[in-house]
Amino acid sequence: MNAVSAKQANNSAKNKNAFLSCLPGIVRICFIRIPLNIHSMTARIFSTVTLWLSLGLVLYFGKIWGGLALLLLVSSAAHWELGTLLSRCGTNPRREFGVVLGMSSIVGLCWIILLKEPPQNPHHFINLAAVLPGMVIAVIAFLLLRDPAKLIALFGCSPTAISWLYIPCGMMPLASLATEFWAFNKGDLSGLFLVLWFTATVKFADCGALLGGLLFGKHKLAPSISPGKTWEGCVGGILMSIAVAAGTAWILGHWAVQLGWTVTGLTPGRAALVAIPLAVLSIPSDLVESVFKRRAGVKDSGRTIPGIGGAFDLIDSLVLTAPFAYLLIKFYVL
């Protein structure tokens, strides 16, 4: 019986090798290197397509209000999930109070921008109140990545306050950018489109990193924090980010004018250059969340989105990158 089984296994291996030898090189690499988890990959692709379609519909029909409501919803859900992770790490954040404080902060910021008279010209105005808190916590978190225990300890000192600085303040620059254009010229959706461009640039860096790591990953980036991330994946993410940033800028310049696009400085070449630091910064931004998940002993921050995880998993690479994106757009694009 064992001899028969061995013969069948040998024949199966020969058939597989014969099949692979008929495939083009890159396709052969995909079959060899990528583990086939059809259910997980299908769920991830379905969720990604659904999320982008939903985002497009919300922005098309809801305009600035739909975009801000979506940002508020996602950031609040991510804030709640962060509180859950911190609780599992041994701290005791006041999740309800923290989420309400975060929502109030974002709404208050947008309200002040909309009511300010006369409205500030977004091409010549930098909202330091929106960008400085998130930038401070981003720099500190990036520096503490060398010692994840210190990062956990930082959040343990005052989990509610630090969590507020982390997620709501990290997302404030995006809310400010979208609102500034609308406040200065009612109906101007350029700020909202810039937020969309930034989101696509960073999130497709995640996709490129995943694909590059699966295909070519050999050298671990941070094995003690996130064993699956590799240096090869980082390169793939940066390249993907550059391509998507340039392509999205071209689309906005040619097709979004009728929808309220007034920014002429975001050319494909300039977008590609700005994408490089954004893609690089998205890597440690992603790793910060991985520190909390690893300490909490969970793979994902939640189960809201099939194949992806929770809202925190969705925006982890955006949160600490957004303050720098705001300044890059202000100084180099507008």
- The per-residue pLDDT for range 123-165, each reduced to its tens digit, is 888 889 899 999 999 999 999 999 999 999 999 889 999 999 9
Is there a domain that residue 13 lies in? no
Q: Which domain holds residue 116?
A: 38-333
pLDDT range class, residue 91, cuts 50, 70, 90: confident
- The per-residue pLDDT for range 203-222, each reduced to its tens digit, is 999 989 988 888 888 889 99
Residues 94-106: what's their mean pLDDT?
94
Share of the chain above pLDDT 90, in %: 59
Is there a domain that residue 9 lies in? no
Residue of 156, 170, 136, 132 lying closest to 286 (CA atoms): 170
Structure tokens at 105: 């902060």
What's the confidence (pLDDT) of residue 16? 45
Cα 82 to Cα 133, 188, 272, 301, distances in angstroms: 18, 34, 32, 7
CA separation for the pair 101, 280 (Å, rounded): 30
Is there a domain that residue 19 lies in? no
Residue of 46, 13, 78, 34 lying closest to 307 (CA atoms): 46
Is there a domain that residue 1 lies in? no
User: 82 or 43: whose pLDDT is higher?
Assistant: 82
pLDDT range class, residue 10, cuts 50, 70, 90: low
Is there a domain that residue 177 lies in? yes
Is there a domain that residue 4 lies in? no
State how many domains the chain has: 1
What's the confidence (pLDDT) of residue 2? 52
What's the confidence (pLDDT) of residue 106? 95
- The per-residue pLDDT for range 170-189, each reduced to its tens digit, is 999 999 999 999 998 888 88
- Quick check: 329 pLDDT over 60? yes
pLDDT range class, residue 37, cuts 50, 70, 90: low
Is there a domain that residue 206 lies in? yes
What's the confidence (pLDDT) of residue 32? 44
